[in-house]
Structure 1
Amino acid sequence: MGLAMGDALGMPAQTLTRSAIQAHYGRIEGFVAPFQGHPVSHGLRAAQVTDDTEQTLLLARRLIAHPEGFDHEAWAHDLLEWEAAIRAKGLSDLLGPSSRTAIDALLAGASSEESGWRGTTNGAAMRVAPVGIMTPPEVETVVARVALTCRVTHNTGEAIAAASAVAMMVSCGIAGRDLDAALNYALEACRLGQTAGHAVGETDMAGRIETALYLAEGGDEEALIAGIGTSVASRESVPAAFGILRLAQGDLWRGLLIAANAGDDTDTIGAIVGAMAGALGGDVPPAAEAQVMAANDLDIDAVARGLLALRGVDCEEVIG
């Protein structure tokens, strides 16, 4: 739910600079509709989610349906069918550049090892939360499962490292670990994930995350965003999400609002912040949850229970 809320809050601001967000909306403090003619979000209403939430649930359903192994070709077709449905609705939030290039290559005959070798954007990290929910916080196991889900579209050290860090934060949160303990595991997973996939893009994602966490220590939102960046590149948006998580000090809603006003890839940064903060026990405001559920057709409860069953725990046990 934290992921969906962060996605929906950031939806009207995605692709905009911080100054453009201010000009169109002031400071975003709740769910708002995109302005008329928004380059990506036109056609959506306040509190509606985007590809971040939809692809997260798509991946979760694929994992639940086939827990014994990950079918790369079936996953590629899942993504293509999802995009076709989005096009049919007349919406513009389609597959990202890495995913589109990789799937075209796969369908043209490239192997799943080859198709994602240039994918360094944040598509893998934005939808990886289900892997963290279904997997206990064992570094090698988490990274191996993350790498499998990344292979088709984001088979690079940068993307796998970023996604591994996010998945481990979620996994640790489900296991009851606090922020600092989870960060230690996440950085370890990030370093191991860096060695997976092709050596393309950022070579030290863990270092980027550590820099973001350092900048966040000063409590200066502007310094964090200026120092790290907020683009679709994993090396910017994922460390920015970690820095915002630190800035928010466990306050889920505060973190989501920082993300929504950060500029550029606001929906994805918000989704990642929300996934991590939610898993770590951040309070989900009931009114905001009600707005998101009323604006979207989301089977979050069923999916969460299915993923926890793969982990071997009961939903009520985790909540308790």
Structure 2
Amino acid sequence: MSQLRRALGAFYGLALGDALGMPTQSLSREQIQQRFGAIRTLEDAGPDQPIAANMPAGSITDDTEQAMLVGRLLVQGQGRIAPTALARSLIEWEAAMQAKGSQDLLGPSTKHAIELILAGHSVEEAGRYGTTNGAAMRITPVGIASDVADSDGFIQAVVQACQVTHNTSLGIASAAAVAAVVSAGINGACLADALLLGVQVARQAQAQGYWVAGANIAARLEWAATLSVDGDKQGFARMLYELVGTSVASQESVVTSFALAGQVVLGHLEAFEALCMAASLGGDTDTIAAILGAMLGACLGLEAWPRDLIDRVQQVNELDLQPLVQELLALR
């Protein structure tokens, strides 16, 4: 399988996961069960969806949009992201969202960092409180553009993409883990090996940024690999929701994405089934499914995803990711 098919699998997997989780984001597991039973395909958002009210089935959210933003900045910077350019782009993105009347705005860590930058604080200082999953959700382009085989250079590329908003041990380690799986997959690694490498790179990357208190990302990823469906898929989903967690905290949502990917390795879940489970969990479903889709797509290729659903996501969002993906691969 070509690097292009794997890279397209990653970016379209991110978009598909994002769209599957769009109608369920910020809802509880019980609310999702009442409204949808379980997510099995792309669904419309209802009028009382707290963030994406009345958005049509297949609509992407901030996860894909901000990943595209990072990808374009990487291309413009020929592989480097200028922190001030990222800050400015995120400010402009939120202003455009507000102008459209969207509730899909910057997450808490990113919002706080941007406020500090606007108040005159340095870029390095602005991201010192960012521990949520915002960096991990938009890191896929770094995994496409940078080769994890050069671990030091790879981690520096991740830090550049995180520093403005998530300049912490938790924010950087979680983003590095996701990017490493994507990069390893594009190099041809199987999913099992890519996930192991993700843990290793998270352990290296956690020395970067400001230390913050919180469960260790690499240790939690290793723990997540020991969890198993054991024939009870509903019980496994409930365990992820209640024990691992599905909030915007990176040590919950990113770890949940890895736990689901691990079940694909074991053959307990098919790739698309895992994506639908992520979208049905409750909590930050669009981000969990987007991260999972990126990692699975990089290792399994574009063929992992139902062609008709990818077509629908492309059509609804007027989305053609191939030119950007090709430019990112050229940087690699």
TM-score tier, shorter chain, comes to: over 0.9
| 1:228 counterpart = 2:240 | no
| 1:294 counterpart = 2:315 | yes
In structure 1, give the amino acid aligned to 2:274.
Answer: G
Q: CA RMSD in A?
A: 1.3
> How many residues are matched?
311
What does 1:111-150 correspond to in 2, within 5 Å?
A: 111-138=122-149, 139-150=151-162
| 1:79 counterpart = 2:100 | no
Cα pair 2:79 2:331 within 8 Å, conserved = no
Whole-angstrom CA distance in 2 between matches of 1:68 and 1:266: 30
Counterpart in the other structure of 1:163: 175
Counterpart in the other structure of 1:205: 217
Counterpart in the other structure of 1:152: 164
Cα distance, 1:45 vs. partner?
1.1
Please, which moves more after superposition, 54-63 or 24-33? 24-33
Cα distance, 1:53 vs. partner?
0.2
Cα pair 1:2 1:252 within 8 Å, conserved = no
SS in 1 for 2:257: helix
SS in 2 for 1:69: coil
SS in 1 for 2:193: helix
Alpha-carbon displacement from aligned partner over 1:80-123 (angstroms, at most 9, x marks no partner): 11111111111101000100110110121111110000000000
Alpha-carbon displacement from aligned partner over 1:239-290 (angstroms, at most 9, x marks no partner): 0000011123373211210100011000000000000000001512101111
Cα distance, 1:141 vs. partner?
2.0
In structure 1, give the amino acid aligned to 2:99.
Answer: A
Cα pair 1:105 1:115 within 8 Å, conserved = yes
Whole-angstrom CA distance in 1 between matches of 2:79 and 2:24: 39
Seq. identity, %: 44
Whole-angstrom CA distance in 2 between matches of 1:151 and 1:137: 19
Whole-angstrom CA distance in 1 between matches of 2:87 and 2:330: 25
TM-score relative to the length of structure 1: 0.94
SS in 1 for 2:318: coil
| 1:266 counterpart = 2:285 | yes
- 1:43/1:85 CA distance change after superposition, 3 Å: farther
Cα distance, 1:201 vs. partner?
3.5
Cα pair 1:33 1:45 within 8 Å, conserved = yes
In structure 1, give the amino acid aligned to 2:278.
Answer: A
Equivalent of 1:278 in 288, 297, 304: 297
Where structure 1 has 5 or more consecutive residues not aligned to the other structure, the ranges are 312-320
What does 1:188-203 correspond to in 2, within 5 Å?
A: 188-203=200-215
Alpha-carbon displacement from aligned partner over 1:122-166 (angstroms, at most 9, x marks no partner): 000000000100111222222111011100000000010000000
Whole-angstrom CA distance in 2 between matches of 1:43 and 1:150: 32
SS in 2 for 1:214: coil
In structure 1, give the amino acid aligned to 2:69.
Answer: L
Whole-angstrom CA distance in 1 between matches of 2:161 and 2:81: 7
Please, which moves more after superposition, 220-229 or 286-295? 220-229
Cα pair 1:48 1:296 within 8 Å, conserved = yes
Alpha-carbon displacement from aligned partner over 1:206-241 (angstroms, at most 9, x marks no partner): 111112221136463322332200000001000000
Cα pair 2:66 2:138 within 8 Å, conserved = yes
SS in 1 for 2:109: helix
SS in 2 for 1:280: helix
Equivalent of 1:185 in 179, 197, 205: 197
Whole-angstrom CA distance in 1 between matches of 2:274 and 2:42: 14
Where structure 2 has 5 or more consecutive residues not aligned to the other structure, the ranges are 1-11
Counterpart in the other structure of 2:29: 18
Please, which moves more after superposition, 178-187 or 259-268? 178-187
Cα pair 1:157 1:202 within 8 Å, conserved = no
Whole-angstrom CA distance in 2 between matches of 1:230 and 1:61: 29
Counterpart in the other structure of 1:316: none
Cα pair 2:94 2:105 within 8 Å, conserved = yes
Cα distance, 1:70 vs. partner?
2.2
Equivalent of 1:214 in 226, 239, 243: 226
TM-score relative to the length of structure 2: 0.91
